[in-house]
Amino acid sequence: MVEHWVQLAYLVAATLFILSLRWMNEVRTARLGNWAGSIGMAIAVVATLGKPEIHSFLWIGVALVIGVAIGTPMALLMPMTAVPQRTALSHAFGALAAGLVGTAEYYLRGRTLGAGATAILCAEVLLGFLTFTGSLLAFGKLHEILPTRPILYPGRNFVSLAVLALAILSAFWLASAPTPHGILFGFFIVLSLLFGVLLVLPIGGADMPTVISILNAYAGLSASFMGFLLNNKLLILAGALDGSSGLILSIQMCKAMNRSFTNVLFGAVGHAVETAAPHRDGRSIQGYTPQEASTVFEGARAVVVVPGYGMAAAQAQHVVKELTDRLSSRGVDVKFGIHPVAGRMPGHMNVLLAEADVSYDRLVEMEQINPLFPETDVVIIVGANDITNPAARTRPDSPLYGMPILEVDKAKTILFIKRSMATGFAGVDNDLFYLSKTMMVFGDAKKVLNELIAAL
């Protein structure tokens, strides 16, 4: 009788998970989708704890206390600007859980598992542990504990693929062996952990949105394989939803950068190849003070704000909101141009602007905002570099070439707020710096915007 109630609860949870993904497709219903997913997960956890085969809650309680002790500070103390890092850590913890469950199953039930079940277990452990170390490395790059540029070494792709091939061969051996091989399985775990490091190490910060979504897909697939192993239908469904949504998002990220999976994973884009200079090809950068730059808003009727990682790093989203409110009060039509890979994770700019209570109606995606730039009086670029670089259209030798960008160079005036003349993560000098209609204002975005507001 209890099992029937558990399965019914799983059905309700599964329905909420599906609705959650559906509602998160729309900005207006995203909050409802978040609540649906959270409630669905709570129902799933409570139902699982009610299963009759659970005889003791001691270690479950210990794990719960540890999880709460780690998760609560992550939620309360990490600022919204650190959402990418927090997401990477969440992926790491979830993947570690999947890997540890698979490891426990092998050492506890290895003698009773057939070849098929062992193969599924190995796939789950491989994906879980490589996602764990890959996500930790992504966290280090996002938090700038590690260099955000690609870390390269000779023969890196050969080494990575060799480690993966060795891990797969070990998995075949484990699946075909008549008895468990504890030492070989331990070696398999080490290879899985190592491959996660080698996978993310040569990937630059500019590709972190795609890396995060790919790791999300890996974690989901690992959970789905775990569901097959434990005969848990809800885990299979939830993992499949997570894995497929992560894969679709990864495809969308690659499309937004005009890149392939192989290029993202093995291309090492982000190695600095150029250096911005005050003068280039007879052109020079025009630097302005915030007070001088504020004059461009006199008579402006249409303004587009393009946020980037510089806004996140300066935690300037609230000041951006204050500036746009000030302009709106003067009758200026203000919109935000959102590039799909701006920042360090999918939807990074949307999250930050939502925290600052920027109206959803003002957030306009790249395809819709690009036709509006020729009629835009002023574009304010807040720390966005590669996603606005015209080299993506004009320079075939550039690593950005072919990438869809926000066509801000078509606006009447460009106000570029930037900390320094450093290039973006793609290592390409931005042609916008040298346009006669570009006003460069150097400094911390938050400080510059506050001075702009004061000048207005």
Q: How far is the C-alpha of 137 from the C-alpha of 142, rounded, in Å?
A: 9
Q: Is 386 an annotated catalytic residue?
A: yes
Q: Which of 242, 386, 409, 431 is catalytic?
A: 386
Burial of 251 (0-12, 13-18, 19+ CB in 10 A): middle
Question: Residue 247 half-sphere exposure, CB side, CA atoms within 13 Å?
Answer: 9
Strand order in the sheet with 363-365: 363-365, 333-338, 302-307, 378-382, 413-418, 438-442
- Sequence-distant (6+) residues with CB within 8 A of 35 are none
Which residues belong to the active site?
Answer: 386
